Each structure stands twice: as structure tokens, then as C-alpha cells.
Amino acid sequence: MTNDLGWSMTEDDRQLFLAEADELVQVLESGALAMEQGGIADETLQAMFRAAHTLKGNAGLIGEQGLAEHMHRLEAGLDDLRSGRVALTPAMVQQVLSGIDTMRDLLARFARGESPAAAGAPETTAPAPAQAAAEAAPLVTTSVEQGPLAGQGRIEIRLKVADDCPMPAVRIFQAYQALSRVGRLEASEPAQETLAQYQGRTAKAMLTYERAIARDGSLAAAREEIAASLEGVEEITLESLAEERMAAPSAQQSQAGGNGGETLESAAAQTVRVRVDVLDHLMNLVGELVLDRTRVADLIGHLEGHGKEQDQEEIRQELSRTSVHLGRVTLDLQETIMKARMLPIEHLFRRFPRLVRDLGQKAGKRVQLEMSGLDTELDRMVMDELGDPLTHLLRNAVDHGVERPEVRRAAGKPETGKVMLRAGTEEGYVVIELADDGGGIDVDRVRQVALQRGVITPEQAERLTEHEAEDLIFAPGFSTAAEVTEISGRGVGLDAVRSSLERLSGMVEVASERGVGTTFRLRIPLTLAIMRALLVRTGEEIYALPLGAVRQIVKLAGDNVQQAYGRTLLADRGQLIPLHGLATLFGGADPTDETFAVVVGGGRQQVALRVGSLLGEQEIVLKSFGDFLGAVPGLTGATILGDGQLALVTDVRFFLQGKDAS
């Protein structure tokens, strides 16, 4: 898209606009929720007003007048609140939140390549100034070829600017903008990006138009609206395109619409802001790499050209020093790039206050969300995958964790329940805890339902500890809810939560106390790209075990391997831990050289894996198997070691579930 100043909006500009818009909308929503909780605060209103004003200006800059006009109305309402002309009431807060929701919808339409103004509801999209002027003094003559439109109509529009109209290219650009407000502008001649140099007075555009079909299904219905939207255009001709003419536009034509189907949130998530000093540091490191590369090439040349052993020894020493420096630079480069990929977890958490507020109102409960550790950093790709699991857990906490006000009052609790969302780091992992101060999990009820549904046998039910019974809520489809509610049911979706965490090489566990509350603890790697691992060899294969899951290493002896309950167990410090051969888990032969057991696990779950030898710790780059192999049970991918050998990266969670990969 090219504006009337001759600036062409690139895809990078578009993505930047969406990322900034997402942040500004979050400022508006956080402010509205803060007003609802604590009344008007001057700094809150000022921040909201600045966000609305900035978003209005950004929308106008890229030529999206529908977005700009909606933000103008929201900005005016905030100004009324700021000046005291309007009193703050619950209805006013709800109106502001509704306006924010509409803005999100308009931005999502823009992200999908649709026309926000055309898609917006009449009550949220006022006529643009150009449209109002045209309605007051029509300057357009129209010629319409009548014809029925079936389904979604595609219209070819030919425009001619009056001979005495100054700056015809600007008038054509304004016409394109106006057309974008009544439909989807698919292509244009001249293309929008070349308008700044265009000197002609005629143009042709292809428009997908839907509103006419909602009325009488003919081009006549489109004429009035389109003509009223154009200013300074002498002639406009509309023609319905037959199916055979609906071919894709040529390469010279301007393609409106983005990358179809992309939402506002995913568009914003594709952008990561990097500080200038980080970029400067990256540039310095790349410069050092270039110098080292040149130095290595020179040394190799000298080494080949000198026959004296003394000279060769000096060159070898210099080559060794250069190699050490090269290692330090690449390590620094790796760490800096990883930091550039990291985002504060606040980017994920900030969507949840509104979610909890709306869920609480729908459930007839008073719920307060408290968040901490917002500056904890996490890889953006990992963060993208955490939204759905945390949403599941929040829905359960509000619907079935926190009690209704009268129940809490009878139990001597405050009527307002609390949901706590905390983040921090631990041993190279990010730990997220989601806790509520509700009624807790009824363990007896869990056992009963598990028996009824055949999840466990009566013998297993007798041996279950409370912690093991709590873990049953992650079984697929498990629920103790007496009825399924609109929001959630305790257990519904929790199997999906665990599956999502397993895909991230993470884990989730639950702890609960009746009458006190429930806590879910999620443990996720900082990044999926690079991890520290313990390398082991068993048989002919090398395996990489994520170091964060390794609990201890035990040397196998005759007295610490026992048989009980039909299983092989490792006896260690009063514990009996299930013991498996790592090679046999993947269908291989049982090696005879297995002398160590590596105990892996998370929380209360542990399993011991028999291995032949320990190769040490190493930082590895995880590579997926790709579409050719797809998902391999028990493995998350592979890595190439420094000597060129391949190591298989194990999925510890798979072993903890007691599954067999063979």
C-alpha cells in the first residue's frame, strides 16, 4: 500500500504495525481492568489516552481510516473521562472494553488481509471525511452494467479523474482507500506502490464486494455506496466479472490482503524487538569471526608452505590460540542470539487478567488474579505454545477451583477468591505455578471416578497415595464434575495440558489440599533449540538425556537390582525405582555392557535407565526429525556431535509414563 506521501508499506512495516498495535491494545485493556478494580487514576487514564492516540496515528499513517476512526471515537471517550465531563461507571468501563474488543476484531481482519472498515459494524465505523464530503456534494458520475451477483461478487471498477483536478495520483490513491472500506481491493492498475510516480488520470481496480449481495444481489446496490465513497473522480464504471474472468491478477497488479488467516496475536508474535546495543554486540562478534576465519586461512597457508619443524610448531601453537578465541566468540555469539530470542513472560501473561475477569463474571464469582515474575524470560517459540495450556488451567481454576461467594463465606474465606500466576527459573528451566485458594481436589472422589471409568483397578486404587490419585486428573477425558459447564470441567482438557507440555519437553504436576487450594506446576525448557544434555552410550547407539531431568547416576550392582510386582526395580536409599534398559525400550537387543543406571524424572515421578557408559555433559543443538520420519515415540529429535556422530535425544516424559517405544 502507498499513501498520499508516496510511502509504500512493506510486509515488514505491516508486521511492525501489528506488533505495536497489540502492545497498545494491551495497555488499553490493562488500564480498563485497573479502572474497574480501583476507580480512575490519572496516570492510568493518561497512559490509555496516549495508547489510543498513538494507535489512531499509526492506523492513519498506513491508510487504514476505518481503524483510525474507531480509535478516534475511543480516544474521545477517554478524553471525556480524563476531563471529568463523563463519570466513571461500570457501564462506562464495559463500553471501553467493548470498544477494545471491536478494535481487536478490526486489527485481526487487517492481519488477515481483509478491509477492517468494510467488515466493521455500522455502529463502530463512522463515515470517513471523504465519504461525508461526497455525500454532501456528489462529484461522481456513474455508469453501471447491470448484472446479478451470486455468492461473493467480484467487480471491475474503471475510474477517471477530472481533467481540472490537481494531483490526480493522490485522488486515485484516495479512491483506492475508499474502495477498501466497502470491499476487498484485490488488484489495481496502476499498482498502489507505483502511484507516487503516476501521471495519468485513469485507473482500474478489482474489488470483491459482499454488502450488495446482502441487499438485492445486483450491481445497482453497489453503485450508490461506492459512488458516495469516491471524491474528485469524474467517472466510475462497474462491471460484474464472469467466472472465466476471475483469474489471478498479473504480477504488475497490486495485491491487497496479507497472508490470509493470520490473526493479530500470531502476527505480533512474529516480531521480536532487539535493543540496539545487542545488535552492535552481534556486529562486533561477526567482525571477530571474520578476522578469525582470515587468520585460520593464513595459518593453513603458512603451514603448507613451511617445511621446518620449528616453524610448523609455531604455526600450530598460533592455530591453537586462534581456535580457542574462535570458541569463545562463537559461544558469546550463541548466547547473544539466544538472548535476542527471549521475551519477558509478561508478553504471555498480560492476556490473562481480562480472561479471568470475564470468566469470573460468567460463573457468578469474584476472582482476583495476582501475577509475579513477569520479567522471567522465555524463548518466543516456547512462549507461543504455552497460551492454550495456561488458558485451560485458568478456566479450571475459576470454574471449579474457586468456590462461589456464599460457599467461601460459609467456610470463613474472603468472598473474593484468588488465582496466583507465578514464573521463575530453576536449573535451566522456567517454572510456572498456577495456584488457586479454592476447595482443592477431592481425592476420594477422584479414586471413585477412576474406578468407575476403568482408569485403575481396585488393587491399584488401594495402593494409590494421595499424590498419585491427584495425578489421575490428567487421564484423557477424566472429570469429577457433576455437570459440564460452559467454561470447563475439572479434568476436561488437562490431558491436553500434559500433552502440550510433553511436546515442549516439559512436564506438569499438581498438588492440592482440601479446603486450601490447588497448585499446578509447569516446568519448561528455556529454549527448544539448544539444551545441556548428558551423553550416554548403550550398545552401538549414543543417546542424549536432557540434563534438567537427570536426578542421579547409580552404578549397578547385584544387590541394588530387584524383582517385585512383576517388574525390575532399582533399590536406592530406601526407594524402589522402575528400571529399564534404554536400548530395549527402543526395540534393540539387551546389551551386556550396561553398568550404570541414570535416574531421570520430574517431581514425584522417577525412572531408572540402564546404560553402558557415560560420555559426559555437553550443550547440544536439537534438530527435529522433520516430516519424513515425523514423531518418533520416546525421542524428541537428534543432534550431531563434534566428531560427526549422531546422538538421539530422548523424551524423558515418555519413559515416566511407563510406555514402550518398541
Three-state secondary structure along 56-98?
A: HHHHHHCCCHHHHHHHHHHHHHHHHHHHCCCCCCHHHHHHHHH
Rg (CA), the chain: 32
pTM for the model stands at 0.60
Q: Classify each residue of 262-293 as buried b or exposed e, where b means 16 or more C-beta atoms within 10 Å of its C-beta.
A: bebbebbbeeeeeeeeeeebbeebeebeeebe
Residues contacting 272, CB < 8 A, separation 6+: 340, 341, 343, 380
- The predicted structure's pLDDT at residue 236: 60
- The predicted structure's pLDDT at residue 306: 60
- The predicted structure's pLDDT at residue 544: 92
In angstroms, what CA-CA distances link 80 with 42, 379, 502?
13, 41, 50
CA–CA separation, 206 vs 240, rounded Å?
A: 10
Q: Is 610 exposed, middle or buried (0-12, 13-18, 19+ CB in 10 A)?
A: buried
CA–CA separation, 567 vs 502, rounded Å?
A: 25
- The predicted structure's pLDDT at residue 127: 31
CA–CA separation, 168 vs 216, rounded Å?
A: 34
Q: Considering only the top CATH level, what class is 530-656?
A: mainly beta
- The predicted structure's pLDDT at residue 522: 92
- The predicted structure's pLDDT at residue 202: 85
Whether 613 and 541 have beta carbons less than 8 Å apart is answered as: no
- The predicted structure's pLDDT at residue 543: 92
CA–CA separation, 95 vs 74, rounded Å?
A: 10
Evaluate the CA torsion angle 44, 46, 47, 48 in order and state its sign. Answer: positive
- The predicted structure's pLDDT at residue 92: 82
Eight-state DSSP code of residue 126: P
Give the CATH H-level superfamily of domain 11-113.
HPT domain (1.20.120.160)
Closest CA to 208 of 155, 167, 248, 170: 155
- The predicted structure's pLDDT at residue 147: 35
Q: How many helices (H) and strands (E) does the chain have?
A: 23, 23
Of the options 3.20.20.70, 3.40.50.300, 3.40.50.2300, 3.30.70.1110, the CATH number for the domain spanning 129-255: 3.30.70.1110
- The predicted structure's pLDDT at residue 546: 86
The CB density around residue 91, as the number of other CB atoms within 10 Å, is 8
Give the CATH H-level superfamily of domain 346-525.
Histidine kinase-like ATPase, C-terminal domain (3.30.565.10)
Residues contacting 128, CB < 8 A, separation 6+: 65, 66, 69, 117, 177, 178, 181, 229
How many residues are present in the chain?
662
- The predicted structure's pLDDT at residue 150: 34
Q: Where are the beta strands (DSSP E) in 456-612?
A: 507-513, 517-525, 530-538, 541-546, 550-555, 561-564, 567-572, 575-581, 596-602, 605-611
CA–CA separation, 368 vs 359, rounded Å?
A: 11
Write the pLDDT tens digit of every residue in 151-206: 346 677 788 877 777 677 777 877 777 777 667 777 788 887 677 677 788 888 88
N-term to C-term CA, the chain: 55
Q: Where are the domains of the chain?
A: 11-113, 129-255, 276-341, 346-525, 530-656
User: 3-class SS at 656?
Assistant: helix
Residues of the chain short of pLDDT 50, as ranges, are 3-6, 118-152, 212-217, 240-262, 484, 489-492, 660-662
- The predicted structure's pLDDT at residue 410: 93
Write the pLDDT tens digit of every residue in 12-40: 777 778 888 888 888 899 888 888 887 77
- The predicted structure's pLDDT at residue 627: 59
